[in-house]
Chain A
Amino acid sequence: MAVETREEAVTIKHHSEDYSVVGTRPVRHDGVDKVTGAARYGADVSQPGQIYGAVTRSPHAHARIRSIDTSKAEALPGVHAVITSDDLADPGDKVTGGGEATAVPLKYKSGNVLARGKALYHGHAIAAVAAVDAHTAGEAAELIEVDYEVLPPVMDVREAMKSDSTLLHDDLHTDFAGEMSEAPSNIAAKFLFEEGDVEAGFAEAAVVVERVFNFATVHQGYIENHNALALWHGDGELTVWCSSQGHFTIRAEVADILDVPISKVKVIPTEIGGGFGGKTTCYLEPLAAALARKAGRPVKMTMARADILKATGPTPGGYVRVKMGADSDGNLTAAEADMGFEAGGFPGSVVAAGCMCVFAPYKLSNVKIEGYDVVVNRPKTHAYRAPGATQAEFASETVVDEICEQLGIDVLDFRTKNSAEEGTWRAGGPAYGRIGHIECVEAARNSEHWQSTLEKPAGTYRGRGVASGFWFNIGFTSSAIARLNPDGTVTLLEGSPDIGGTRSSIAMQFAETLGIGFDDVIPMVVDTDSVGYTDVTGGSRVTFATGYAAHEAANDMRRQMIEGMADVWDVAADSITYENATFTANGESASFKEAAHLLNEDTQQIIGKATVTPEKEGNAFAVHIADVEVDVETGKVTVLRYTAIQDAGVAIYPPYVEGQMQGGAVQGIGWAFNEEYFYDDDGRLRNATLLDYRMPTTLDVPMIETIIVEVPHPGSPFGVRGVGEVPIVPPPAALAIAIYDAVGIRYRDLPMSPHRVYAELAARQNGAGA
Chain B
Amino acid sequence: MATEILSGKVHVNTTINGESTDFLAEPRESLLEVLRETLGLTGAKEGCNDGNCGACNVIMDGRLVNSCCVLAVEASGADVTTIEGIAGPSGLHPLQEKFLEHAALQCGVCTPGFLVSAKAMLDENPDPTEDEVRWWLAGNLCRCTGYDKIVRAVLDAAASMRGEG
Q: Which residues of A pack against B, CB within 8 Å?
A: 25, 27-28, 30-32, 34-41, 43-44, 46, 134-135, 220-225, 271-276, 302, 304-305, 499-501, 655-656, 658-660, 662-667, 689-691, 695-699, 701, 703-704
- Alpha-carbon distance between A665 and B82 when the two chains are bound, in angstroms: 31
Chain A residues whose CB sits within 8 angstroms of the CB of B41 once the complex forms:
37
- Alpha-carbon distance between A30 and B115 when the two chains are bound, in angstroms: 17
Chain B residues whose CB sits within 8 angstroms of the CB of A663 once the complex forms:
106, 143-146
Chain B window 23-51, contacts with chain A (Cβ cutoff 8 Å), 1 for yes, 0 for no: 00010110001001100011111111110
Chain A residues whose CB sits within 8 angstroms of the CB of B149 once the complex forms:
655, 658-659, 662
Given contacts A35-B99, A37-B84, A655-B103, contact A689 B108 (CB under 8 A): no
The residue in A28, A35, A691 that gathers the most chain B C-beta atoms within 10 A of its C-beta is A35
Task: Judge whether B106 and A659 touch: CB under 8 Å.
Answer: yes
User: Nearest Cβ distance between residue A730 and chain B, in whole angstroms?
Assistant: 14
Task: Judge whether B142 and A223 touch: CB under 8 Å.
Answer: yes
Chain A residues whose CB sits within 8 angstroms of the CB of B26 once the complex forms:
135
Known contacts A35-B96, A655-B102, A690-B53; can you find 18 more A-B pairs with CB under 8 A? A32-B92, A36-B83, A37-B42, A37-B112, A38-B43, A223-B53, A272-B109, A655-B103, A656-B103, A659-B144, A662-B148, A663-B146, A666-B146, A667-B146, A690-B48, A697-B140, A699-B135, A703-B148
B141 CB–A CB distance under 8 Å: yes
Give which listed residue, A32, A220, A276, A667, contacts B100 with CB less than 8 A.
Answer: A32
Task: Judge whether B103 and A43 touch: CB under 8 Å.
Answer: no
Give which listed residue, B86, B109, B150, contacts A273 with CB less than 8 A.
Answer: B109
Task: Judge whether A223 and B55 touch: CB under 8 Å.
Answer: yes
Task: Judge whether B147 and A223 touch: CB under 8 Å.
Answer: no
Task: Judge whether A43 and B144 touch: CB under 8 Å.
Answer: no
Chain A residues whose CB sits within 8 angstroms of the CB of B141 once the complex forms:
221, 223, 690, 695, 697
Chain A residues whose CB sits within 8 angstroms of the CB of B48 once the complex forms:
305, 689-690
B1 CB–A CB distance under 8 Å: no
* A–B pairs, 7, beta carbons within 8 Å: A34-B105, A36-B87, A222-B109, A274-B106, A274-B144, A655-B149, A697-B140
Q: Which residue of A lies closest to B112 (CB)?
A: A37
Chain A residues whose CB sits within 8 angstroms of the CB of B107 once the complex forms:
222-224, 271-275, 499-500
User: Nearest Cβ distance between residue A701 and chain B, in whole angstroms?
Assistant: 6
Q: Which residue of A lies closest to B96 (CB)?
A: A35
Task: Judge whether A273 and B108 touch: CB under 8 Å.
Answer: yes
Q: Which residues of B pack against A, CB within 8 Å?
A: 26, 28-29, 33, 36-37, 41-50, 52-53, 55, 82-84, 86-87, 92, 96, 99-103, 105-112, 115, 133-135, 137-152
Q: Which residue of A lies closest to B105 (CB)?
A: A34
- Alpha-carbon distance between A655 and B150 when the two chains are bound, in angstroms: 12
Chain A residues whose CB sits within 8 angstroms of the CB of B105 once the complex forms:
31, 34-35
Task: Judge whether A665 and B111 touch: CB under 8 Å.
Answer: no
Give which listed residue, B33, B100, B134, B151, contacts A28 with CB less than 8 A.
Answer: B100
Task: Judge whether A37 and B43 touch: CB under 8 Å.
Answer: yes
Task: Judge whether A305 and B96 touch: CB under 8 Å.
Answer: no
- Alpha-carbon distance between A443 and B84 when the two chains are bound, in angstroms: 44
Task: Judge whether B106 and A225 touch: CB under 8 Å.
Answer: no
Task: Judge whether B47 and A225 touch: CB under 8 Å.
Answer: yes
Q: Which residue of B lies closest to A667 (CB)?
A: B143
Give which listed residue, A221, A304, A501, contacts B143 with CB less than 8 A.
Answer: A221
Task: Judge whether A39 and B106 touch: CB under 8 Å.
Answer: no
- Alpha-carbon distance between A275 and B109 when the two chains are bound, in angstroms: 11
- Alpha-carbon distance between A696 and B146 when the two chains are bound, in angstroms: 8
- Alpha-carbon distance between A30 and B134 when the two chains are bound, in angstroms: 26
- Alpha-carbon distance between A391 and B136 when the two chains are bound, in angstroms: 33
Chain A residues whose CB sits within 8 angstroms of the CB of B44 once the complex forms:
37
- Alpha-carbon distance between A36 and B87 when the two chains are bound, in angstroms: 7
Main secondary structure of the interface of A (DSSP, over half): loop
The 6 closest A-B pairs by CB, nearest first: A37-B43, A273-B109, A666-B146, A500-B106, A34-B108, A655-B103
Given contacts A500-B107, A667-B143, A691-B52, contact A36 B42 (CB under 8 A): no
Task: Judge whether A223 and B110 touch: CB under 8 Å.
Answer: yes
Task: Judge whether A698 and B134 touch: CB under 8 Å.
Answer: yes
Task: Judge whether A135 and B28 touch: CB under 8 Å.
Answer: yes
User: Nearest Cβ distance between residue A645 and chain B, in whole angstroms?
Assistant: 15
Given contacts A37-B112, A224-B107, contact A44 B42 (CB under 8 A): yes
Chain A residues whose CB sits within 8 angstroms of the CB of B86 once the complex forms:
36
User: Nearest Cβ distance between residue B165 and chain A, in whole angstroms?
Assistant: 16
User: Nearest Cβ distance between residue B84 and chain A, in whole angstroms?
Assistant: 5
Chain A residues whose CB sits within 8 angstroms of the CB of B83 once the complex forms:
36-37
User: Nearest Cβ distance between residue B151 and chain A, in whole angstroms?
Assistant: 7
Task: Judge whether B49 and A40 touch: CB under 8 Å.
Answer: no
Given contacts A659-B149, A663-B143, contact A305 B138 (CB under 8 A): no
Given contacts A659-B149, A666-B146, A691-B50, contact A274 B100 (CB under 8 A): no
Chain A residues whose CB sits within 8 angstroms of the CB of B134 once the complex forms:
698-699
Chain B residues whose CB sits within 8 angstroms of the CB of A39 once the complex forms:
108
Task: Judge whether A666 and B92 touch: CB under 8 Å.
Answer: no
Task: Judge whether B143 and A659 touch: CB under 8 Å.
Answer: no
User: Nearest Cβ distance between residue A138 and chain B, in whole angstroms?
Assistant: 10
Q: Which residue of A lies closest to B93 (CB)?
A: A35
Chain B residues whose CB sits within 8 angstroms of the CB of A222 once the complex forms:
107, 109, 143
User: Nearest Cβ distance between residue B116 and chain A, in whole angstroms?
Assistant: 9
Task: Judge whether A690 and B47 touch: CB under 8 Å.
Answer: yes
User: Nearest Cβ distance between residue B57 and chain A, in whole angstroms?
Assistant: 12
Chain A residues whose CB sits within 8 angstroms of the CB of B151 once the complex forms:
698, 703
- Alpha-carbon distance between A704 and B149 when the two chains are bound, in angstroms: 9
Task: Judge whether B100 and A31 touch: CB under 8 Å.
Answer: yes
Task: Judge whether B43 and A274 touch: CB under 8 Å.
Answer: no
- Alpha-carbon distance between A41 and B28 when the two chains are bound, in angstroms: 25
Task: Judge whether B84 and A662 touch: CB under 8 Å.
Answer: no
User: Nearest Cβ distance between residue B111 and chain A, in whole angstroms?
Assistant: 6
The residue in B26, B115, B137, B142 that gathers the most chain A C-beta atoms within 10 A of its C-beta is B142
User: Nearest Cβ distance between residue B125 and chain A, in whole angstroms?
Assistant: 15
User: Nearest Cβ distance between residue A408 and chain B, in whole angstroms?
Assistant: 35
Chain B residues whose CB sits within 8 angstroms of the CB of A690 once the complex forms:
47-48, 50, 52-53, 141
Task: Judge whether B100 and A27 touch: CB under 8 Å.
Answer: yes
- Alpha-carbon distance between A40 and B107 when the two chains are bound, in angstroms: 12
- Alpha-carbon distance between A701 and B130 when the two chains are bound, in angstroms: 12
Chain A residues whose CB sits within 8 angstroms of the CB of B150 once the complex forms:
698
Task: Judge whether A701 and B43 touch: CB under 8 Å.
Answer: no
- Alpha-carbon distance between A655 and B148 when the two chains are bound, in angstroms: 12
User: Nearest Cβ distance between residue B130 and chain A, in whole angstroms?
Assistant: 8
Task: Judge whether B45 and A501 touch: CB under 8 Å.
Answer: no
Q: Which residue of B lies closest to A44 (CB)?
A: B42
Q: Which residue of B lies closest to A274 (CB)?
A: B107
Chain A residues whose CB sits within 8 angstroms of the CB of B37 once the complex forms:
46, 134
Give which listed residue, B43, B84, B87, B103, contacts A501 with CB less than 8 A.
Answer: B103
User: Nearest Cβ distance between residue B6 and chain A, in whole angstroms?
Assistant: 11
Task: Judge whether B148 and A223 touch: CB under 8 Å.
Answer: no
Q: Which residue of B lies closest to A275 (CB)?
A: B107
